[in-house]
């Protein structure tokens, strides 16, 4: 990378940090300004932390600019170099996927909004009116929609990225491109849809909230939604690495995964809620088990933001981040181990 | 030799490529497991390349000749980085544009214009470069009025013309060519041949696989003769080609 490009990257890093801090401050303002028992607001801890992290980041960008001098390599410089180098390719592949998806449909991109909406109406009627599985959940329609949007996002990402290596075999055997580009771009193009489906989610919440009793209003906590999506995205990339590399060696994964993901869907409180199990004998293990279900944490993260209008507990951020990081680490390790063998099996 | 004073562009050292030919490949989990327990997975090892070493210098037009299955395509794939050799190393000094199969990565549902950018990105060109060269690509491919049409409506000749125009718009330092010199009708064949000659004479290092001895004699200054995965002979074109005939 040239000097100007490094400066640009540094600028991006610092701006991203600023945006993250702003989003978090606005989104979690009620918790931040709230006074704890000892009578001091949490800002006392938060502000120095923000300043410290910012300072460290600034120091890091300085280091980046010195990368290569005296033969030293800064950690992460290689990562930014590959992103910089293949940014255009990723951009092109994502636009291709997006264009192809709706190319021959009349409503086009509009389907991204319409699909989750229609799905929600069907499931709402079935589960709320026919089967009556509300389980005493307030604002069940919104509760359901949050679950559906997040789950569909995950399902879409994992399905698409699973086929990313086998589906691009014609390219992989002809041109050299780092192979991790393929699962990553598939997750990106699927997550564009997740982003778009946030719009009907918020719109429905707005409209629904006006007519429901008790009223439900969107609070500034919606600014925390990007964090939930980011956790999900990283988790999906990890999952995509794992599934796509297994898929090369065993095509059975494709069939196995449809079964597994259906089982996983029913094991996640999307249509039901954990409060249904309260006070019932012999089912407490389900509640315990749920602590180990990453999707449960991502979905309740979003539900807390929208339904309770407040920031999730600090521990929830840590749990979600830990799941994402763990999945990413597992995925990339498996992928790195296998990627040189892909070509022999495609 | 005079070339050896030049700088090295490619250094191929002791490259071996081993393929495992499983008696019948286990394509599913069940098969792998059952085989692991019953008789074990059987492999027959097969070396497509065995200790191949040669250097390519700046400005060389190197021909690779040999019979079918001699390992020509495998060595090209290893040099372009698509395959990783089982043993040995390839050092590359300069950007490589492989023209192994034209038009891989084209999407039939996208228009010609969109495909120029997609295919260009796959070949490693950057955005600004493609924008600048866009007119040149369209001009060369002679597809002016069809460029906004989806590729599925193109004839195969038109697709090849577009692919050739995208691949040769760069002036790469190392160009890898696997017998694709003639595409399209007679007129375009002439044009594409001229373009290849222009690229080759412009100081680009070229690796070139062909079965056409006349073409090899005409274009290459050095030749590597592969036989059964090893280098049988290498040296100046005339000497090797005369021996190869025998």
Looking at the structure of chain B, the number of domains it has is 1
Q: Which residues 6+ apart lie within 8 Å of A102 measured at CB?
A: A108, A109, A111
At B164 the pLDDT is 86
Average confidence (pLDDT) over A316-345: 92
Residue B35 within a domain:
no
**Which residue among A99, A100, A171 sits closest to B105, beta carbon to beta carbon?**
A171
Return mean pLDDT, chain A.
86
Is pLDDT at A93 greater than 60 in this prediction?
yes
DSSP string, A273-320: -GGGGTT-TT-HHHHHHHTT-HHHHHHHHHHIIIII-SPPPHHHHHHH
Q: What is the pLDDT of residue A69?
A: 67
Per-state percent for chain A, helix, strand, coil, to nearest 5:
75, 0, 25
Q: Report which DSSP code applies to B144.
A: G
Residue B128, classified by CB atoms within 10 Å of its CB into exposed (0-12), middle (13-18) or buried (19+), is exposed
**Of the residues A75, A108, A129, the one at which a domain ends:** A75
* Residues paired with residue B99 on neighbouring β-strands, in sequence order: B177
| A174 and A270 part of one domain | yes
A203 DSSP β-pair partners: none
Chain B residues lying within 8 Å of A93, measured CB to CB: 118, 121
Residue B17 lies in a domain: no
The reply to whether B126 falls in a domain is yes
Instruction: Kindly indicate the confidence band of residue A329, based on its pLDDT and cuts at 50, 70 and 90.
Output: very high
Predicted complex ipTM: 0.79
Distance (Å) from the alpha carbon of B99 to chain A's nearest alpha carbon: 9
B126 neighbourhood in chain A, CB within 8 Å: 88
Question: Average of pLDDT values for A24-45?
Answer: 77
Interface test with B, best of A92, A93, A253 (most B CBs within 10 A): A92
Residue A299: pLDDT above 60? yes
Whether B169 is in a domain gets the answer yes
Q: Is A15 exposed, middle or buried (0-12, 13-18, 19+ CB in 10 A)?
A: exposed
| Mean pLDDT (whole number) for A111-123 | 81
Residue A85 lies in a domain: no
Q: What's residue B23's pLDDT?
A: 55
**A40 is in which domain, residue-wise?**
1-75
Domain match, A323 and A174 both: yes
Final residue of a structural domain among A75, A103, A123? A75
Summarised one tens digit per residue, pLDDT across range A202-237 is: 888 888 888 887 788 888 889 999 999 999 999 999
For residue B4, being part of any structural domain is answered with no
Last residue of a domain, one of A41, A75, A109: A75
At residue B3, the pLDDT reads 44
In a domain, B15, yes or no: no
Which residues in B have their CB inside 8 Å of a CB on A?
A: 19-20, 27-30, 32, 77, 80-84, 96, 98, 100-101, 104-105, 107, 109-110, 114, 117-118, 121-124, 126-127
Asked if the structure places residue B65 within a domain, the reply is yes
Task: Say if residue A64's pLDDT is above 60.
Answer: yes
State the total domains in chain A.
2
Q: Is residue A87 part of a domain?
A: no
Residues B25-74 have pLDDT tens digits of: 555 666 666 666 665 556 677 888 889 999 888 888 888 988 888 888 88
Q: Are both A290 and A321 inside the same structural domain?
A: yes
**Average pLDDT for residues A305-332, to the nearest whole number?**
92
Tell whether A130 is covered by a domain. Answer: yes
Q: What pLDDT does residue A293 have? A: 92
* CB contacts, 8 Å: A256 with chain B: 29
> Within this chain, do residues A265 and A306 fall inside the same structural domain, yes or no?
yes
Q: What is the mean pLDDT of each run of 10 residues along chain B (246 residues)?
A: 64 87 62 65 77 88 87 88 89 81 81 91 87 91 89 88 85 77 76 81 82 83 89 87 77
Note whether residue B7 is domain-resident. no
Task: Say yes or no: A53 and A98 in one domain.
Answer: no
Q: Are A274 and A290 in contact (CB under 8 A)?
A: yes
The better pLDDT of the pair A260, A5 is held by A260
Q: What CATH number should be reported for the domain holding residue B183? A: 3.40.50.300
Residue B117, domain extent: 59-86+95-245
Sheet containing B87-92: order of strands: B43-57, B8-22, B87-92
| Residue A83 resides in a domain | no
pLDDT of residue A1: 59
pLDDT at B26: 56
């Amino acid at each position: 990378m040239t000097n100007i490009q490094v400066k640009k990257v540094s600028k991006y890093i610092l701006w991203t940090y600023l945006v993250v801090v702003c989003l978090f401050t606005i989104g979690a303002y009620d918790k931040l300004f709230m006074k704890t028992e000892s009578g001091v607001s949490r800002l006392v801890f938060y502000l120095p932390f923000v300043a410290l992290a910012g300072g460290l980041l600034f120091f890091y960008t300085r280091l980046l600019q010195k990368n290569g001098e005296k033969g030293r390599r800064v950690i992460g410089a290689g990562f930014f170099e590959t992103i910089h180098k293949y940014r255009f390719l990723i951009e092109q592949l994502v636009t291709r996927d997006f264009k192809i998806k709706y190319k021959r449909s009349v409503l086009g991109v509009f389907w991204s909004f319409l699909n989750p909406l229609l799905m929600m109406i069907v499931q709402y009627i079935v589960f709320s009116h026919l089967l009556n599985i509300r389980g005493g959940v307030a604002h069940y329609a919104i509760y359901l929609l949050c679950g559906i949007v997040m789950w569909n996002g995950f399902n879409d990402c994992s399905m698409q990225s699973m086929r990313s290596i086998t589906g691009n075999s014609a390219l992989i055997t002809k041109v050299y491109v780092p192979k991790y580009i393929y699962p990553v771009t598939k997750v990106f193009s699927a997550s564009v849809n997740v982003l778009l489906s946030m719009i009907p989610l918020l719109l429905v919440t707005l409209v629904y909230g006006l007519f429901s009793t008790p009223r439900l209003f969107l609070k500034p906590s919606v600014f925390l939604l990007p964090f939930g999506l980011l956790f999900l995205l990283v988790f999906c990339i990890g999952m995509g690495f794992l599934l796509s590399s297994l898929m090369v060696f065993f095509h059975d994964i494709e069939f196995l995964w449809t079964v597994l993901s259906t089982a996983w869907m029913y094991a996640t409180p999307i249509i039901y809620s954990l409060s249904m199990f309260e006070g019932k004998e012999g089912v407490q293990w389900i509640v315990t088990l749920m602590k180990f279900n990453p999707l449960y944490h991502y979905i309740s993260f979003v539900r807390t933001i929208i339904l309770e209008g407040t920031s999730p507990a600090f521990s929830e951020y840590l749990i979600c981040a830990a799941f994402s990081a763990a999945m990413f680490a597992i995925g990339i390790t498996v992928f790195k181990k296998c990627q040189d063998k892909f070509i022999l099996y495609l | 030799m005079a070339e050896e004073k030049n700088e090295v562009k490619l250094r191929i050292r002791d490259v071996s490529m081993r393929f495992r030919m499983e008696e019948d490949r286990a394509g599913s989990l069940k098969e792998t497991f059952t085989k692991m327990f019953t008789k074990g997975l059987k492999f027959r090892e097969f070396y497509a390349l065995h200790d191949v070493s040669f250097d390519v210098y700046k400005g060389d037009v190197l021909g690779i000749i040999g019979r079918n299955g001699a390992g020509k395509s495998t060595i090209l794939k290893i040099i372009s980085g698509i395959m990783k050799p089982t043993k040995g190393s390839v050092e590359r000094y300069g950007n490589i544009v492989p023209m192994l199969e034209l038009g891989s990565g084209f999407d039939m549902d996208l228009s010609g214009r969109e495909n120029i950018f997609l295919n260009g990105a796959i070949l490693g060109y950057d955005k600004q470069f493609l924008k600048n060269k866009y007119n040149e690509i369209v001009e060369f491919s002679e597809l002016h009025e069809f460029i906004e049409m989806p590729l599925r409506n193109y004839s195969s000749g038109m697709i090849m013309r577009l692919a050739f125009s995208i691949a040769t718009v760069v002036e790469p330092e190392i160009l890898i060519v696997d017998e694709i010199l003639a595409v399209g009708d007679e007129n375009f064949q002439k044009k594409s041949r001229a373009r290849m000659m222009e690229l080759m004479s412009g100081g680009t290092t070229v690796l070139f696989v062909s079965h056409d001895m006349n073409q090899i004699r005409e274009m290459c200054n050095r030749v590597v003769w592969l036989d059964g995965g090893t280098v049988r002979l290498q040296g100046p074109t005339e000497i090797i080609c005369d021996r190869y005939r025998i």
